Amino acid sequence: MPQDTLTGGFTEAPQQSARAFRSLMNALARPGTIEEITGGTGPAPLSAAAATTLLTLCDGEMPIHLAGGHDTDAIRQWIAFHIGAPICARNQAMFAVGTWQALTPITDFPIGTPEYPDRSTTLIVEMDTLSNTGATLTGPGILTTAQLSLPETAAFQQNRLLFPMGVDCYFTAGTRIAALPRSTKVEAH
């Protein structure tokens, strides 16, 4: 077993996961806000932010899809050891991790049902950088407008039309994280 399989989990799970969750909640409740999130590290190319998000939210009951370059033996073993989540296809995923290019088209992921819109996938989109530039965001959690360096706008506009169904997205870069829930309206800047 490679060394990085065994390391990178939480050393103080109750406290670290609590702080990480607050970052996740603040990011989702205030779309466009960039939060710091630390505590976990996984094998490359998994960012610390994505690794911490998986450690905080996933367990044996949450199937994860690994897209493109994130579907490596090392990451699979790391997830098996620290999280115990089954790795699954796109249409079964409750969480999916990868670059935007690997995750698109996002229309294959579960979007929930009219009765249970919560039964949908949360995407963790790995980015090189994150900044408050680019697309303009409006909607719940945003006082006037916010800006976030989204990889594109059309897919998120399509996703917004599905509301209350749809996927929710986290964007991760290093130890930084931002979110775009399905409720946010996106306009190209």
Applying CB under 8 A, which residues contact other proteins?
Answer: 13-15, 17-19, 21-22, 24-26, 28-30, 56-59, 61-62, 113-118, 120, 122, 139-143, 163-164, 168, 181-183
Min CB(146)–other proteins separation in Å:
11
Q: For other proteins, which is the closer residue by CB, 5 or 33?
A: 33
Q: For other proteins, which is the closer residue by CB, 47 or 121?
A: 121
CB atoms under 10 Å from CB of 83, counted, come to 22
Min CB(178)–other proteins separation in Å:
14
Pairing mode, if any, of strands 135-138 and 146-148? antiparallel
Q: 19 with 36: CB under 8 angstroms?
A: no
Q: For other proteins, which is the closer residue by CB, 19 or 76?
A: 19
Min CB(77)–other proteins separation in Å:
19
Q: 68 with 126: CB under 8 angstroms?
A: no
In whole angstroms, what is the distance from residue 176 CA to residue 183 CA?
A: 22
| 73-76: long-range contacts, CB 8 A cutoff, minimum separation 24 | 74/2, 74/4, 74/5, 74/43, 74/44, 75/42, 75/43, 75/46
Q: 56 with 89: CB under 8 angstroms?
A: no
Amino acid found at 170: Y
Q: For other proteins, which is the closer residue by CB, 62 or 74?
A: 62
Q: For other proteins, which is the closer residue by CB, 16 or 47?
A: 16
Min CB(38)–other proteins separation in Å:
13
Min CB(51)–other proteins separation in Å:
15
